[in-house]
Amino acid sequence: MFKVLITDDEETIVRGIKSLVPWERYGCVVAGEAYDGISGMAQVRAINPDILFCDIRMPGMDGLSMLAGLRSEYPAMQTTIITGYREFEYARKAISLGVCRYLLKPSKIEEIEEALQAMTVKLKENAGETEDSPPAVDSLVVRSALSYLKQHCTEKLSLQDVADHVYVSQWHLSKLLKKHTGENFLDLLQNCRVDLAKQLLKNPALRVSDVAEKTGFSDATHFSKVFKKVTGQSALAFRNTPGQEGR
């Protein structure tokens, strides 16, 4: 039996789909239901469903980023979107991320069953195969993660924080970052902070301890150690080296 997860912030829609679809006819069983994006992602990880019916316009959730994350981490899972969001470009992007069907509310039961049949056929066709996520999807997840890291590198930032932002697990994001950049999360974070520190060191009014604080390091000693490790010279030597203005 294929496991199905239904996620929508409208409880009546979840219960309606669950009760009206003849799941056994398609070799399926509803293994879980959720009413917001956060619990929906938690259910995906707990259940590892074969099929997902999901609204991607739920409060506090970036639907396209969530789709990219799901597609990257669970490439075999088949997804149908049921939403009231009618913008064509949004639908096009969703489909480009591997969505099987994009249905508009209110959806007819016939449309839902057709989507279910299409997804089960796809699952049967791919049975026994080891699927990889599309490179373009993985690249999108990595770009989003690096962008978020750059914007928040001065904060107390963890791998989990970034993974939550791009809707994947810590383990999956760590693997993607290493594959696409050749570096781990801590190195990327430190490099980002050091790049910012190089810019701040051009200001002679700022002490090294000030720069350390502004770039998210716990103390000046740790900052100095990391800065020298990354650049090969101390922060003061870097500041006093001629020509730093253009670097």
pLDDT of res. 243: 66
pLDDT of res. 87: 81
Asked if residue 31 lies in contact with residue 107, where contact means CB atoms within 8 angstroms, the answer is no
DSSP 79: E
- 216: helix, coil or strand? coil
Give this prediction's pTM.
0.88
d(C-alpha 78, C-alpha 221), whole Å: 50
Percent of the chain past pLDDT 90, that is, above it, reads 74
d(C-alpha 165, C-alpha 15), whole Å: 29
Q: Strand pairing partners for 104?
A: 83
| Domain range summary for the chain, segments of one domain joined by + | 2-125, 135-246
The CATH homologous superfamily of the domain defined by 135-246: Homeodomain-like (1.10.10.60)
* Assigned fold of 2-125: Rossmann fold (3.40.50)
40-91: pLDDT as tens digits = 889 999 999 999 999 988 877 788 888 999 999 999 999 999 988 888 888 8
Please compute Rg for the chain using Cα positions.
23
pLDDT of res. 244: 60
Residue found by looking up tokens 């309606």 in the block: 16
Q: Take residue 171 and report the two structure tokens written for it.
A: 């383990």
State the CB neighbour count (10 A cutoff) for residue 95: 14
Which residues in the chain land under pLDDT 50?
Answer: 245-247
pLDDT of res. 168: 95
Q: Strand pairing partners for 54?
A: 7, 81
Asked if residue 25 lies in contact with residue 1, where contact means CB atoms within 8 angstroms, the answer is no
d(C-alpha 20, C-alpha 12), whole Å: 12
